[in-house]
Amino acid sequence: MGGDPTPWATPAPVSPRPDATAGTGAGAARREVRVVVLATAAVLAAGGVVALTVFAATRTPSPTVRPIVVGEAADRRAQIREGGPIYVADPTGGRGLWLDLEAGRLVALAVDLPGRPDCIVKWRATRNAYVACDGRHLRSSDLDRYASTVQGTDRPGRPKGAWVVDLTRRLPAPGAAEPRRAGTSAPTRR
């Protein structure tokens, strides 16, 4: 047979380095893995920074419970005499308190029944009494109260005559709770 070699019998040229062509060989594979790992780490770090920023921006410190001014004492006394007890929301996020008069003295009352923090007491003007969650009629003397004073001198944030209530000093109810059923006579208001 003749001496013409067939094109498929000719050996392919051999490169001096096995990784000389782009995208082939062990060196290129290591570079690709390094790029993927670094990109993943960068994405995770950026996500962590975003999460910390959101946490820091939305985190609110717990309010400090300290004495609060609930109004000018003479004004509050007149309002209570005219319309009955006044509910005041607790600025620290608590349940609030009732402002009332006992024998002409201002009192700041807790809104929950003594010994039963799950039982909220409400003022019912139509019944002229505080009414517990179980329907019992109560007097102001049946409720715990907060220490309070009327400011005697001007101080920053507390002008003379301001009624100041100390929400950190809860005092026990001075009177024993006498259970009364709904429909029975309630104590007479001033």
Domain 68-171 classified CATH 2.102.10.10? yes
CA 107 to chain centre: 27
Residue type, 99: L
Q: Give the separation between CA 165 and CA 179, rounded to whole angstroms.
A: 28
Rounded average pLDDT over 46-50: 83
Q: Give the separation between CA 97 and CA 109, rounded to whole angstroms.
A: 5
Domain boundaries, the chain: 25-59, 68-171
Q: Mean pLDDT of all residues in the chain?
A: 80
HSE-up (13 A, CA, CB side) for residue 40: 6
Residue 166 binned pLDDT confidence (cut-offs 50, 70, 90): very high
Tokens of residue 129, six digits: 């009494």
pTM as predicted: 0.58
